[in-house]
Amino acid sequence: MSYYKGYSEKRDFFRMMVRATVEFQVEGDSRVYTGVTEDLSATGIMFATDCHLKPGQKIVLKVLPDNNQQTPLKADVEIIRVDVNDKKEFVAAGNMSNVE
């Protein structure tokens, strides 16, 4: 995990480069989807997934720890941007709220 907050970074919180598995459900859909985080901050997350999310969608997301010593981070997320990476995965960025 690495931290960065360069001169041009305007955010109030550090972004952490974190590679962790996420599980999420899209509001109104009972299926559980998976992905992998790219970065995480106190109020936002970016992750890659095969699920085609769209800006404005709301999801309930869990960031799963890589050991049984920690509990998952849970949050409500509103998707604000979706791009496609060179692996043809959807890369979603969202604002987190109700973080547990």
pLDDT tens digit at each of 100 positions of the chain: 444 444 445 555 566 677 899 999 999 999 999 999 999 988 999 999 999 999 999 999 999 988 888 899 999 999 999 999 999 999 999 999 999 9
Residue 41 and residue 11: Cα distance in Å, rounded? 9
CB within 8 Å of 18: residues ≥ 6 apart: 1, 37, 38, 39, 40, 63
| Number of alpha helices (DSSP H) and beta strands (DSSP E) in the chain | 0, 8
Q: DSSP readout, 18-59? A: ---EEEEEETT----EEEEEEEE-SSEEEEEESS---TT-EE
Record: fold of 13-97: Thrombin, subunit H (2.40.10)
The 8-class DSSP code of residue 100 comes to -
Task: Report if pTM > 0.85.
Answer: no
Residue 11 and residue 62: Cα distance in Å, rounded? 23
